[in-house]
Every structure is written in C-alpha cells, then in structure tokens.
C-alpha cells in the first residue's frame, strides 16, 4: 500500500472531516507527504472541504 492509498484509507475510515495533521497521525505518513497527496486529491476532486481546513472524501 503506497502513501496515497494510506491517506485515502484514513479518510474512508473516519466519520468526521480531517485536517492534514490528523490524516498524518492516522495513516503514519509524514505530514509534508500528506500535504502533497491532499493537494493532488483536491485537484482531482477526490476530497472536498465541508469546513475550512478540514477535508472528507467526495461522495461518488
């Protein structure tokens, strides 16, 4: 499982929106790497922001 999969899995397993720090804690991926991955996920609209600085998986 690569880091991107770990980040997506962290979002999938959480009932609440997450920030990058929390995703890093849950997934075990370095926060700088989480920031890069989340930037990609935002761009392709895999994650959306229900409130400022917090993200959740988009419903697909």
The residues pairing with 55 across neighbouring beta strands, listed in sequence order, are 18
- pTM here is 0.90
Compute the average pLDDT of residues 40-45.
96
Q: Is the pLDDT of residue 50 over 80?
A: yes
In percent, how much of the chain has pLDDT > 90? 95
> What's the pLDDT score for residue 59?
80
> What's the pLDDT score for residue 56?
96
> What's the pLDDT score for residue 60?
58
Q: Is 37 exposed, middle or buried (0-12, 13-18, 19+ CB in 10 A)?
A: buried
């Amino acid at each position: 499982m690569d880091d991107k999969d770990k980040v997506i899995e962290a979002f999938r397993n959480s009932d609440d929106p997450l920030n990058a720090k929390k995703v890093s804690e849950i997934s075990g991926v370095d926060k700088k790497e989480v920031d890069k991955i989340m930037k990609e996920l935002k761009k392709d609209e895999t994650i959306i922001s229900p409130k400022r600085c917090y993200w959740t998986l988009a419903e697909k």
